[in-house]
């Protein structure tokens, strides 16, 4: 890989997923912080490389990639974190797309609360979240890692999103297999100690401060 740069924000789960992969594969990458509060992602320079104004954005010597999942697939190509086997690749893709949706749902729950548009979490969105968490529990019951028998990029994406969920006031005690996988990831990811504090994501902290629980009342 040539001279490459990762544009990132420390408490962003998709950025953390990419950082964890970079550390695991010991890749030489320059990290550039983008301050979203100061709207650095909306500058003409940043919009020129990512019109979606999002981090993570990866620059591999002038080849720009957006979306953490696409970046991870790119970085892991040819490494021990992926495989040319079509079945394994299909499973990796399946979990990557699943993770994309999981992150979207947790955003759908937390963002309107954060901006004060609502005071209670949406029960409709919580139902979707818990359905996905139940599905994840089922997926992981039959696998050693997220995509099957060995550690892949999919574990890193899912781990970062699950960390954000875990840091919210939410009862995850019934997702035992998922919790075991989560603990196993913490022990296996060489970059985990560095992002541990950052993964106490702003949204989860905000909900705790406000005393808002992500509780699904199945009677509603």
Ligand X SMILES: N[C@@H](CCC(=O)N[C@@H](CS)C(=O)NCC(=O)O)C(=O)O
Catalytic residues: 12
Q: Which is nearer to ligand X, 12 or 163 (CB)?
A: 12
**Block residue for tokens 């781990």:** 159
Question: Which positions ≥6 away from 175 have C-beta within 8 Å?
Answer: 133, 134, 136, 137
Question: Which positions ≥6 away from 41 have C-beta within 8 Å?
Answer: 34, 50, 53, 54, 55
**Which residues from 99-158 bind ligand X, rule CB under 6 A?**
100
Q: How far apart are CA 161 and CA 16, in angstroms?
A: 9
**Which residues from 165-204 bind ligand X, rule CB under 6 A?**
none
Taking the CA atoms of the chain, what radius of gyration do you get in angstroms?
Answer: 17
Q: How far is the CB of 155 from ligand X (least distance, A)?
A: 15
Residue range at the interface with ligand X (CB under 6 A); choices 6-14, 114-122, 184-192, 202-210:
6-14
**Three-state secondary structure call for residue 117:** coil
Q: Which is nearer to ligand X, 19 or 55 (CB)?
A: 55
Considering CB under 6 A, how many residues would be counted as binding ligand X? Answer: 13
67 binds ligand X, rule: CB under 6 A? yes
Q: How far is the CB of 56 from ligand X (least distance, A)?
A: 5
Alpha-helical runs (H) found in 79-219 = 86-114, 123-141, 153-166, 176-188, 192-195, 202-210
Q: How far is the CB of 12 from ligand X (least distance, A)?
A: 3
Hey, how many other C-beta atoms are within 10 angstroms of the C-beta on 180?
A: 11
Q: Which is nearer to ligand X, 107 or 169 (CB)?
A: 107
14 binds ligand X, rule: CB under 6 A? yes
Q: How far is the CB of 107 from ligand X (least distance, A)?
A: 7
31 neighbors 56 (Cβ within 8 angstroms):
no
Q: Which is nearer to ligand X, 56 or 148 (CB)?
A: 56
**Which residues from 24-53 bind ligand X, rule CB under 6 A?**
36, 41, 53
Question: Which positions ≥6 away from 79 have C-beta within 8 Å?
Answer: 25
59 binds ligand X, rule: CB under 6 A? no
Give me the residues that bind ligand X (CB under 6 A), please.
9, 12, 14, 36, 41, 53-56, 67-69, 100
């Amino acid at each position: 890989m040539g001279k490459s740069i990762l544009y990132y924000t420390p408490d962003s789960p998709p950025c953390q997923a990419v950082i964890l992969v970079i550390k695991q594969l010991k890749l030489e990458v320059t990290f550039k912080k983008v301050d979203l509060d100061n709207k650095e992602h909306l500058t003409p320079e940043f919009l020129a490389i990512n019109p979606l104004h999002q981090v993570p954005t990866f620059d591999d010597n002038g080849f720009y990639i957006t979306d953490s999942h696409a970046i991870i697939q790119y970085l892991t190509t040819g490494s021990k974190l992926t495989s040319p086997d079509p079945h394994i690749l299909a499973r990796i893709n399946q979990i990557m797309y699943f993770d994309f949706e999981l992150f979207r749902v947790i955003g759908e729950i937390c963002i309107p609360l954060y901006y004060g548009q609502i005071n209670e979490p949406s029960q409709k969105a919580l139902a979707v979240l818990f359905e996905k968490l139940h599905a994840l529990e089922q997926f992981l019951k039959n696998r050693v890692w997220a995509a099957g028998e060995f550690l892949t990029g999919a574990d890193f994406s899912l781990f970062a999103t699950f960390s954000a969920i875990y840091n919210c006031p939410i009862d995850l005690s019934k997702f035992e297999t998922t919790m075991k996988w989560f603990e196993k990831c913490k022990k296996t990811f060489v970059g985990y100690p560095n992002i541990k504090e950052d993964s106490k994501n702003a949204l989860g902290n905000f909900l705790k401060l406000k005393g808002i629980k992500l509780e699904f009342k199945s009677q509603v």
